[in-house]
């Protein structure tokens, strides 16, 4: 496994693979790898000839007052795990390499996709997604992957990135892999590292809430309000006030009023102790993941 720090080195390393028409897979990460990331690396290894992992805590997707300074970092451990999971090339640039002095360009998916849920101005805001799409567009340009792998846990991010790929005609498939969960259901996240034992136990209420919504729908509830109330009760039992617990369609992220067989994204975000956590399920979809853009 090779480690490079500049986009020029990255391109030079990948030129032969590109010339030979070999399939390059990209797994973009911010490091602090957990089993969710490893499942993306394994999927990339299985489907692609060359596996590239990026490791970059992207400053432009963190708002003022967010946790960029506290964000867990352990490059040596991440490199060991990447090597053990068959990564060929790691791109771990400094912020000045990605955003040199005078950097003035942004890639933005406009409209409601980036303004609801996490993009709501009272939450992370659409600036968060602008930071994500800008850095991912740069990675796509530098790596030229055939397939890029993302996690279902960040469902809104995956939907936004699929829209960017469609609109800008990147010849790239976005593969969304299932959320990896701890035994009690908690979705794995680098931010779980912020939780003490008590908050770690409470945090499992997010997935229990989503499970309660799923069970309510399976038991015949078609009204979103009724199903979400079952989820809200699970959160209340742990004293968790969600930032949101909402049901939206998986194309435009428009609110839905009923479960009628079409895929519906039920997404939750809540602060548990010092950590802001997100999770979701897709109800009525083929495989529990956000379906490909139509
Ligand atoms: O999901 C993440 O870890 C980040 O948002 C990503 C896609 C690596 C962009 O910085």
Question: Given the CA of residue 56, which atom of ligand 1 is nearest to it?
Answer: 10
Instruction: Identify the domain containing residue 133 by its residue range.
Output: 2-177
pLDDT of 188: 98
| 184 domain residue, yes or no | no
- Is position 251 within any domain? yes
Residue 59: φ, ψ to 5°: -65, -30
Round to whole Å and give the CA distance between 282 and 287: 8
Q: Which of 196, 197, 184 is nearest to 279 (CA)?
A: 184
Q: How far is the CA of 28 from the centre of ligand 1 (A)?
A: 6
Of all helices (H) and strands (E), which one includes residue 207? helix 205-218
Reported as a single tens digit per residue, the pLDDT across 46-78 is 999 999 999 999 999 999 999 999 999 999 999
Residue 85 annotated as catalytic: no
Q: How far is the CA of 238 from the centre of ligand 1 (A)?
A: 29
Residues 82 and 203 in one domain: no
For residue 182, tell me if it sits in a domain: no
In a domain, 183, yes or no: no
CATH number, residue 53: 3.40.50.620
294 pLDDT higher than 70: no
Q: Which neighbouring-strand residues pair with 268? A: 245, 279
Do 50 and 144 share a domain, yes or no? yes
**Side-by-side strand order, sheet with 147-151:** 2-4, 89-91, 50-55, 24-29, 147-151, 173-177
Q: How far is the CA of 82 from the centre of ligand 1 (A)?
A: 16
Phi, psi of 54 (to 5 degrees): -100, 150
Residue nearest to atom 8 of ligand 1 (CA): 29
Question: What's the mean pLDDT in 281-289?
Answer: 88
Contact criterion met (CB below 8 Å) for 203 and 195? yes
Whether the full predicted model's pTM is greater than 0.85, yes or no, is yes
- Distance CA(201)–CA(267), nearest Å, equals 20
Could you give the CA distance from residue 216 to residue 208 in angstroms, rounded to a whole number?
12
Query: Is the same domain home to 144 and 209?
Result: no
Q: pLDDT tens digits for 77-98? A: 999 999 999 999 999 999 999 9
Residue after which a domain boundary falls, among 129, 150, 177:
177
How many structural domains are present in the chain?
Answer: 2
């Amino acid at each position: 496994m090779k480690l490079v720090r500049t986009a020029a080195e990255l391109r030079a390393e990948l030129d032969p693979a590109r010339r030979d028409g070999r399939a390059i897979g990209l797994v973009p990460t911010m490091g602090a790898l957990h089993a969710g990331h490893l499942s993306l690396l394994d999927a990339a290894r299985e489907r692609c000839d060359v596996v590239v992992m990026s490791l970059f805590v992207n400053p432009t997707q963190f708002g003022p007052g967010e946790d960029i300074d506290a964000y867990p970092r352990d490059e040596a451990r991440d490199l060991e795990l990447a090597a053990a999971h068959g990564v060929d090339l790691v791109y771990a640039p400094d912020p000045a390499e990605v955003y040199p002095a005078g950097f003035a360009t942004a890639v933005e998916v406009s409209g409601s996709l980036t303004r609801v849920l996490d993009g709501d101005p009272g939450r992370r805001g659409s600036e968060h997604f602008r930071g994500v799409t800008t850095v991912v567009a740069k990675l796509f340009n530098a790596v030229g992957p055939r397939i890029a792998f993302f996690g279902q846990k960040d469902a809104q991010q995956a939907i936004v990135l699929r829209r960017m790929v469609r609109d800008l005609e990147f010849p790239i498939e976005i593969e969304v892999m299932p959320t990896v969960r701890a035994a009690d259901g908690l979705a794995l996240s680098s931010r779980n590292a912020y939780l003490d034992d008590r908050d770690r136990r409470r945090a499992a209420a997010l997935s229990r809430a989503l499970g309660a919504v799923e069970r309510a729908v399976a038991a015949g509830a078609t009204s979103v309000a009724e199903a979400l109330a079952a989820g809200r009760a699970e959160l209340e039992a742990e004293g968790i006030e969600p930032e949101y617990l909402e049901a939206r369609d998986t194309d435009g992220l428009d609110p839905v009023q009923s479960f009628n067989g079409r895929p519906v994204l039920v997404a939750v975000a809540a602060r548990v102790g010092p950590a802001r956590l997100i999770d979701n399920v897709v109800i009525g979809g083929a495989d529990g993941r956000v379906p490909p853009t139509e």
